[in-house]
Amino acid sequence: MNIEEVVVVEGKSDTIAIKRATGADTIETNGSAINSKTIERIRHAQKTRGVIVFTDPDFPGRRIRAIVEEQVPDVKHAFLPKKETIAKNGRGLGIEHASDEAIRQALASVYTVSEHTLEEIPMVLLMEARLIGHPDSRKRRERLSELLQIGQVNGKGLKKRLEMFRITLEQLSETIKVLDEEAMKTDV
């Protein structure tokens, strides 16, 4: 797999996993204490090659993603579902624990954030689809996020995340159908 962009990761273990899976170049943030020199390196990489932010699906990873996105416009984002990043012993979470195939798949499905959305997602649709305000909402959102590869998101942030990644109403409706079909199979 040939990746032109530089991949922004949290640490050395993530770099090793990315190199093993894809051979791509990385910039390490050294955790959530991202400093101005690192931001400058990311800005330079964005200008020369482009950047893909690929952080862990936890609070520090989301914080790094938000800082980079705020400081360096038009970066791309790659996400892995939480279940793909859990250590074999169950005592750790991170990209370094993901399989090479999962890493390649995530990096092949990147999104670019845009301030201009194609379509507005109606809140009523999210409520009717039991993605917010329902006892099953969290579980359904997690699966939706996995299917759309947009990273885990809470109820408050779902609408914004869908719009930010330009998920169309058609894509959302098709994915909701998949959720409903899966729910029917488990109810039987």
The whole-number pLDDT of residue 118 equals 60
Q: Where are the alpha helices (DSSP H) in the chain?
A: 12-22, 36-48, 59-71, 100-108, 123-128, 137-148, 155-164, 169-187
Hey, what amino acid is at 146? E
Hey, what amino acid is at 41? R
- In the chain, where the domains are located: 6-112, 123-187
State how far the alpha carbon of 164 is from the alpha carbons of 8, 20, 51, in Å: 20, 31, 17
pTM summary value = 0.69
The whole-number pLDDT of residue 161 equals 85
Burial of 90 (0-12, 13-18, 19+ CB in 10 A): exposed
State how far the alpha carbon of 135 is from the alpha carbons of 23, 129, 131, 139, 165, in Å: 43, 12, 9, 9, 26
Give per-residue pLDDT as tens, 144-187. Answer: 988 888 888 888 889 988 887 778 889 899 999 999 999 888 87
Cα atoms in the Cβ-side hemisphere of radius 13 Å centred on 170? 1
Q: Which residues of the chain have pLDDT under 70?
A: 113-118, 188
User: Smallest Cα–Cα separation from 120: which of 163, 151, 86?
Assistant: 163
CATH T-level topology, domain 6-112: Rossmann fold (3.40.50)
The whole-number pLDDT of residue 6 equals 96
For the chain, the 3-state helix, strand and coil shares in percent, each to the nearest 5, are 55, 10, 40
Other C-beta atoms closer than 10 Å to the C-beta of 39 total 17
